[in-house]
Amino acid sequence: MRKFLMTAASAVLALSVFSADVETADAQSAADQVITEGKKHLGSPYRYGGTSPSGFDCSGYLVYIFDRAIDQSLPRTAAAQASAGDSVSKSNLQPGDLVFFNTSGRGVSHSGMYIGGGDMIHSSSSRGVSIVSINDPYYWGSRYIGAQRVITEQEEVASETSPPEPKPLPAGQYHDVRESHFAYAEIKSLGESGIINGYSDYTYRPNQQIDRSQAAALIARTLDLKPDGNPGYDDVSSSHHNADVISAVESAGYFDSIVKGNDFKPSAKITRGEIAAVFYEAFNLEGFESEENFHDVAGHEYYDQIMAFAGTEISTGTRDGGYDPERVANRGHFAAFLDRALNVHN
Say if residues 262 and 199 touch (Cβ distance below 8 Å): no
Closest CA to 66 of 92, 35, 89, 111: 35
Q: How far apart are CA 125 and CA 66, in angstroms?
A: 20
Please classify residue 112 by burial: count the beta carbons closer than 10 Å to its beta carbon, then call 0-12 exposed, 13-18 middle and 19+ buried: buried
Q: Is 110 a catalytic residue?
A: yes
Q: How far apart are CA 201 and CA 169, in angstroms?
A: 10
Q: How far apart are CA 73 and CA 76, in angstroms?
A: 9
Q: Is 345 a catalytic residue?
A: no
What number of other Cβ atoms are within 10 A of residue 337's Cβ?
22
Catalytic residue chosen out of the listed positions 41, 122, 181, 333: 122
Say if residues 303 and 274 touch (Cβ distance below 8 Å): no
Say if residues 222 and 278 touch (Cβ distance below 8 Å): no
Q: How far apart are CA 324 and CA 290, in angstroms?
A: 16
Catalytic residue chosen out of the listed positions 110, 175, 181, 333: 110
Q: Return the active site residues.
A: 58, 110, 122
